[in-house]
Chains A and B, each alone.
Chain A
C-alpha cells in the first residue's frame, strides 16, 4: 500500500531547502537561485506525478499511510486524487514564478526566500493530507510564513493587515478544530475518507448525539453546529462574504510576488477544503443550509465584482476580482448537493458544475497570479504607483506588455478560447441545470467583471499617453520568459481543456455521486 513516498518527499523538499537557506545565509542573489532551484525540483516532481497518474476510478493515488498517534485516531495518511494533484501542480508552478518575479527584496532576502519555500511546503501538505490532524498542521503552519511575508516586506499598513489576516484565519481554524474534535469523539477517527463515508451514510447526527448529547440538542442540530464550525474555518480562507474583509488589505499591502502566491494558491486551500472536507462529510447539512449558502455565494459574486469595479488601486481591484472568481466556485460547490434539480440530466449537471469548480480553481490561480505578476512589473517601473488614474495610453510605449496583460485580462474575464472561459462555462451550465434562478442572478457578475476589466484596460493602455511614461521600458527577455509558460497554458487550456478534465473527471464524478444520493 505504501509505495515510494513521493508526496512526503515533495512536501519535505521545500522545508529542507528553506532550512538550508536559513543556516547557510548565502547572499541575496545566490539565495534566490537556490530557492528557485528547489522550487523547480518540486515542479519536476509534481509534473512527474501528473504524468504517472492514472485517473482510474477516482481513487487516491500515491498513498502513504502510517500509524502516528493511535491513541487519538491519528494516522499519517496522504494521497492525491485528480483534484488534489491538480492543485499540487498549481502550487508547484506558481512558486518558481513567484520567486522569479520582481527584484530582490532589499531587506533580509534569505529569510524571504526561506519563508516562501516554507509556504510552498504548507500548500503541498494541505493538498495531500487525508487525515485531519496532519491537514490541520499544514493549514495552520502555512499561516506563519504568510504572516511574516506580509508583515516584514509589505507596504503601508502591513502590520494591521498581517495581524488581521492571521487572527481571522485562526478564529476560523479554532471553530473548525472544535467541530472536528466533536466528530472525532462521535466516530473515533480523524480520517477524511472514513468520515466522508459516515457523513454520506447519514450516520453523523446520531453518532454526535450519543457522545455530545448535552443540553438536549438533537443529533441534527449537533451535526449542523459541527458543519457550521468547519464551514467557518474555510469560509474565512476562501473567502466567502461576509468573512472577506481581511483580503483586500492583505493582498494590496503584501509584496506582489507574495500576493501571487496568496491569490494563486493559498485561497485555493479554502476552496479545496470545501471540496475535500466539507462537502463529502456534510452533504446533508449542506443541503439543509442551501438557501442561505446560495445567497452568500451569489452575494460574494455580485458584491465582489461590484466592489472591484469601484476600485482605483489596481491591486485592490484584482483582490476583489479574486473574491468574485472564487465565488463561482462556492456557488458550484453548494449547488452540487441540491436534490431534484429543475431541468435536465441531474448527473450531468452535477458533474459539469464540479468539473467547472475544480477547473476554475486551477485557471483562476494561474490567471490571477499572472495578472499580479504583470501588475508588479508595472508597479516597479512606475516607482510604486498603481492607481488607474496614474496611467494612460501605455500601449504605445510598452506594446508587448500591453499585449500579454491583455491576454491575461481576457482570460480572467472569461473570453472563450482562453482558459477562464471553460471553468465558468461549466459552472453556469451545471447551475442552470440545477437551479436556474441562481444561475440567472449570478450571471451579472460575469458582466460586471467584463466591464471593470475592460475599463481597466482602456484607462491604462488606451487613450492619451502622459509624458512621464514616455520612456517606460518594455518587458525584458527574462520577464517574457517568466510569464510565457503561464500564458501558453492559458491558451492551451482554453482550447484543450480535456488535458485537465481527463485527469480530474473520475474523481469529480465519484465525489458528485457520493454526495448526491
Chain B
C-alpha cells in the first residue's frame, strides 16, 4: 500500500519542477501540472483498487519523526480515506483542466496549486494527529496566494478572510491537539500522536467535554459550520474557478474529515454531550445557506451559499453516531465535492470567463441556453443532481444521512427535508434566470452570440465529474463497499469507550 504515499510526493515534486523552471512557458507549465495530477490520480486509483475493504486500516508509511513528542510520520488508509483520496484525485485533475485558460503567471499558479493538492492528499493519508495538522496547515497558505493573485471580485479581501478563518479554525485545533498530547502523555505515561492509539484511550469525561468542541469546531470552521461559515461565500466568489472548485469541493471536506477523525472518533462522550448544540448549528446552516442562496443576485454566490447548505448535511451526518448517518456523510463529502466542482466549473469557467458578468439580471438577457448549450445542459444535470434527485450521487448520500438523522434526531431530519425543498427552489431559480429566460419580445438578439465555444478541456472536465456522480448514484456500492466497513469499525472502537 505504500504506493498511496506517492501522490503526496509526486505533487510536491511537480511543484518543485515548476518553481525551478524560471522562464517556463505557460503551455509547458500546464502540461507539467496536468501530468503531475494525472500521475497522482493514477497512483491513487491503483492504491484504492489494491485496498482490501474488510481489512480495516492499511499501513502506508511509518517512520519516527519527533520522538520527544511521540510524533511519527505515519500514513495509513481505511475505506473513508480511500473515498476522499479518490475525490481528491478526480477533482485535482479536473481543476487543472478548468484553469487551462490562465495566462498570467501560469507557472506560479500551478506551483501553488500542486502545493495545495499535496497538502490535501497528505491530510487524508495521515494517521498521526500532528502530521494531519501539518498537512492541513500546509494547505492553508497556497490558498491565499491562489485567490489573491488570480481571483476576481474583491480578491485580496476574500483571500485574507478565507485564510484567517481557516487559520483560526486550525489554531483552535492546534490548541486541542496540544491538550490531547498532554493528557495522552499523562494517561499512557509516554507521549503519542498516533490516532489509533489515541482512539483507544479512555479520556476523562470532563476533558472530553471541552476538548471535543475545540477539535470539532476548529475543523468544522473549514467545513463551513454555521456561524463560522462566512468566509466561504466571499472566498468562493473571489477565487478563480479552479480554486472555487477545489475550495468547495475538496478543501471544505478537509474540515469535515478532520472533525470526523479527531473529534468524533476520539471523543464520543464529548460528542454526545455537545450533539444538541452542534446539530442545531448544522441544521441552521442547511436552512440559512439555502434561504440566502434563494435571494442572491450573483450566480456564484448562489453556488457558494449552496455549498454551505450542503455541508450542513455532512455535519449533521457526522453527529448522528450511527452507520447510516456517518456513511452518508462521507458519501455526501464525495458527492458534493464532485457536484460543487461541476457547478463552479459551469458558473466560473464556462459562463463568467466568457460573459464577464455573474449577475443574474445580466445573464437573463443573454439567452445562454441557445449560445452555450453545453453549459446549460451541464448546469441542468449538475443542478438536478445537487438537488438530490435520484440517479445521482447526492440522492444516495442524502438518503443515508436522513435515515441516520431519523433515528438520532428526527426533528432535524424533517428540517433537513425542508432544506432539500429549498435547494430545489434556489437551483431552479438560478437555472431559470441564468440560462432559460427569454428576453422580452422585440428585444435585440442579446449579447450572447459572440461567446467563444466551450473548449475541449472544459468538456472533458465536466464529463469526468458528471460521470463520477452518475456512477456513484446508480451503483453506490462502488464507494459504500469502502465506506461502510470502515464506519462500522469506527463505531465499534467508539463503542468500546462505553459512550454509545
Taking beta carbons and an 8 Å cutoff, which residues of A are in contact with B? 68-72, 133, 136-141, 143-144, 148, 151-152, 159, 163, 166-167, 170-171, 174-175, 177-178, 181-182, 184-185, 211-212, 214-215
Contacts and interface: CB of A to CB of B under 8 A. Distances in A.
Nearest to B398: A177
Contacts of A181: 399, 402-403, 406, 413
Given A71-B480, A178-B414, A166 B428 contact: yes
A137 B395 contact: yes
Given A137-B391, A177-B399, A69 B480 contact: yes
A30 B219 CA distance: 57
Contact of B421 (A72, A159, A163, A174): A174
A141 B399 contact: no
A51 B411 CA distance: 50
Interface in B380-417: 380, 384, 387, 389-391, 395-396, 399-400, 402-403, 406-407, 409-411, 413-414, 417
A175 B417 CA distance: 8
Contacts of A174: 417-418, 420-421
B497 interface: no
A501 to B, nearest CB: 35
A159 B369 CA distance: 15
B333 interface: no
A151 B391 CA distance: 22
A151 B436 contact: yes
B424 interface: yes
B417 A178 contact: yes
A212 B484 contact: no
Interface centre among A70, A148, A181, A214 (most CB of B within 10 A): A181
B417 to A, nearest CB: 5
A137 B399 CA distance: 12
Contacts of B420: 174
B425 interface: yes
B327 interface: yes
Interface string B239-281: 0000000000000000000000000000000000000000000
B375 to A, nearest CB: 15
A159 B435 CA distance: 13
Contacts of A214: 409-411
A152 B438 CA distance: 10
Given A69-B477, A139-B390, A181-B399, 12 more contacts: A68-B475, A68-B477, A71-B477, A138-B390, A152-B436, A159-B437, A166-B424, A174-B421, A177-B402, A177-B417, A178-B414, A184-B403
A212 B407 contact: yes
Contacts of A175: 417
- Name the prevailing secondary structure of the B interface residues: helix
A140 B389 contact: yes
B390 A137 contact: yes
A152 B399 CA distance: 31
B432 interface: yes
A230 to B, nearest CB: 14
Nearest to A184: B403
B476 interface: yes
Nearest to B484: A71
Given A159-B432, A178-B413, A212 B400 contact: no
Contacts of A215: 410
A136 B390 CA distance: 7
28 contacts: A69-B476, A71-B323, A71-B477, A71-B484, A72-B399, A137-B390, A137-B391, A137-B395, A140-B389, A140-B390, A141-B389, A144-B384, A152-B436, A159-B432, A163-B432, A167-B421, A167-B424, A170-B421, A174-B421, A177-B417, A181-B399, A181-B406, A182-B406, A182-B410, A185-B403, A211-B406, A214-B410, A214-B411
Given A178-B402, A178-B413, A181-B403, A141 B390 contact: yes
Contacts of A151: 436
A136 B413 CA distance: 18
A178 B436 CA distance: 31
Contacts of A139: 390
Interface in B75-103: none
Interface in B320-338: 323-324, 327
A178 B404 CA distance: 11
Given A71-B327, A140-B389, A178-B413, A171 B421 contact: yes
Contacts of B418: 174
Contact of B396 (A69, A166, A171): A69
B346 to A, nearest CB: 17
Interface in B424-475: 424-425, 428, 432, 436-437, 475
A133 B475 CA distance: 12
Nearest to A152: B436
Contacts of A178: 402, 406, 413-414, 417
A108 B411 CA distance: 46
